[in-house]
C-alpha cells in the first residue's frame, strides 16, 4: 500500500540557515509521481514541484532544491538561506498509476518556523 | 483566471444540521476530488469523480456525500455533521484521471461542528 512519511513534525531555524525536509515513500508501483506543496498560514496549498519516478535528476529552483533517490525511496526538500516567508507547513505527496481514484497520498506535513 | 472555487471559506455549524460545501472549477477538468486535512495526518481523500455522474469513495467517505451533475461542480454534502468532521476541507481538480496530471486545489473550507 502507498504511504508517505515525513518524520519531522516541526523544524525551527533562524533566518539564513538551510533547512532540509525529509520525505520517505512506499509504493509497489513502478510509475508514480512525487509532489511537494507549501501551506502558508493563510491555509491554501501552493504547488512547488512534481517529479516522476523515471526522472531521478535533482532539481533546483531559486533557493529550493529537491533530492530524489529511488534507492532509498526518498524525495527530500532543502530550503537554502531560509527567510521568514518560508514559514509554513510543507507536504510531500505521492500519486501512483495503480491507485484508485487518482489519489494523492500525503505525508503528515512538516511545520517550518523561520525566526528573524 | 483558472481556478477552483470553494465556498464558504469558514463555517461553524451545530451537530446534525445538514450542510453543503460547494466546489466549482472553470478549467473544464474531468477529474475532481475532495480531501480533508487533520493535524499529523496530512490530507486524506474523501470522494472523487472521474467525470459527470461518475463518483466513488476515497479513503474516508463515512458521513459524506457528493454529486457530479455538471462537469464544473462537485459539492460535498454532510447530511448530519458530527464534531469529528471538524476539519479543513480541500477540493481539487485535474484535467483527467490517471497519474501524472497536475492538481489545482481550492483555497480550503475550515469547518467547525459544535
Q: What are the pLDDT digits (tens) for A8-43? A: 999 999 999 999 999 999 999 999 999 999 999 999
Those residues whose C-beta lies under 8 Å from the C-beta of residue B21, and which sit 6 or more positions away, are B6, B7, B8, B11, B75, B76, B78, B89, B91, B109, B111
What's the confidence (pLDDT) of residue A2? 87
User: What cell numbers appear for B37 in the block?
Assistant: 486535512
Q: How confident is the model at residue B34 (pLDDT cuts 50, 70, 90)?
A: very high
Question: Is the pLDDT at B99 greater than 80, yes or no?
Answer: no
Q: Say what the pLDDT of residue A73 is.
A: 96
**pLDDT band for position A50 (50/70/90)?**
very high
In whole angstroms, how far apart are CA B100 and each of A22, A35, A58, A61, B97? 22, 10, 18, 20, 9
Judged against a pLDDT cut of 90, whether residue B14 lies above it is answered with yes
In the structure, what pLDDT confidence band is assigned to residue A53 with cuts at 50, 70 and 90? very high
Q: Are the beta carbons of B74 and B54 closer than 8 angstroms?
A: no
Q: Smallest Cα–Cα separation from B47: which of B37, B60, B38?
A: B60
C-alpha to C-alpha distance for B34 and B49, rounded to whole angstroms:
9
Tell me, what's the pLDDT at B26? 95
In this predicted structure, the answer to whether residue B22 has a pLDDT above a threshold of 80 is yes
**Calpha distance B63→B78 (Å, rounded):** 6
Q: What does the pLDDT read at residue B98?
A: 72
Per-residue pLDDT tens over the stretch B36-90 = 999 999 999 999 999 999 999 999 999 999 999 999 999 999 999 999 999 999 9
On whether any CB of chain B is under 8 Å from the CB of A33, the answer is yes
pLDDT band of residue A60 (cuts 50, 70, 90) is very high
**pLDDT tens per residue across span A81-103:** 999 999 999 999 999 887 777 78
pLDDT at A57: 87
Of the candidates B96, B27, B32, the residue with the CA atom closest to the CA atom of residue B69: B32
pLDDT of residue A92: 98
pLDDT at A91: 98
SS3 for chain A, per residue? CCEEECCCCEEEEECCCCEEECCEEECCCCCEEEEEEEECCCCCCEEEEEEECCCCCCEEECCEEEEEEHHHCEEEEEECCCCHHHCEEEEEEEEECCCHHHCEEECCCEEEEEEC
Verify whether the Cβ–Cβ distance B40 to A109 is below 8 Å.
yes
- How distant, in Å, are the alpha carbons of B13, B72, B80, B106 from that of B23? 19, 8, 19, 8
Query: Is B10 near chain A, with CB under 8 Å?
Result: no
Alpha-carbon gap, residue A39 to B35, rounded angstroms:
15
- Chain centroid to CA B25: 12
- Mean pLDDT for A111-116 is 97
Is the CB of A101 less than 8 angstroms away from the CB of B100?
no
> Chain B contact for A28, CB < 8 A?
no
Residue B101 pLDDT level (bands cut at 50, 70, 90): confident
**Chain B residues with beta carbon closer than 8 angstroms to that of A43:** 88, 107-108, 110
Amino acid at each position: 500500500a502507498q504511504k508517505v512519511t515525513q518524520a519531522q513534525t516541526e523544524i525551527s531555524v533562524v533566518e539564513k540557515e538551510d533547512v532540509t525536509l525529509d520525505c520517505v515513500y512506499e509504493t509497489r508501483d513502478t510509475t508514480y509521481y512525487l509532489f511537494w506543496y507549501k501551506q502558508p498560514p493563510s491555509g491554501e496549498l501552493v504547488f512547488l514541484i512534481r517529479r516522476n519516478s523515471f526522472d531521478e535528476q535533482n532539481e533546483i529552483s531559486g533557493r529550493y532544491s529537491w533530492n530524489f533517490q529511488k534507492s532509498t525511496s526518498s524525495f527530500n526538500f532543502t530550503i537554502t538561506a531560509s527567510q521568514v516567508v518560508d514559514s509554513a507547513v510543507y507536504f510531500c505527496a505521492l500519486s501512483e498509476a495503480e491507485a484508485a481514484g487518482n489519489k494523492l497520498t500525503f505525508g503528515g506535513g512538516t511545520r517550518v518556523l523561520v525566526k528573524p | 483566471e483558472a481556478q477552483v472555487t470553494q465556498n464558504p471559506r469558514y463555517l461553524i455549524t451545530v451537530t446534525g444540521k445538514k450542510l453543503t460545501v460547494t466546489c466549482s472549477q472553470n478549467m473544464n477538468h474531468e477529474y475532481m476530488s475532495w480531501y480533508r486535512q487533520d493535524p499529523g495526518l496530512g490530507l486524506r481523500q474523501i470522494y472523487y469523480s472521474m467525470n459527470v455522474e461518475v463518483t466513488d469513495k476515497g479513503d474516508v467517505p463515512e458521513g459524506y456525500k457528493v454529486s457530479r451533475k455538471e462537469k464544473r461542480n462537485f459539492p460535498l454534502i454532510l447530511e448530519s455533521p458530527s464534531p469529528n468532521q471538524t476539519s479543513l476541507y480541500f477540493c481539487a481538480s485535474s484535467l483527467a484521471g490517471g497519474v501524472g496530471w497536475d492538481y489545482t486545489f481550492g483555497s480550503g473550507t475550515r469547518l467547525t461542528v459544535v
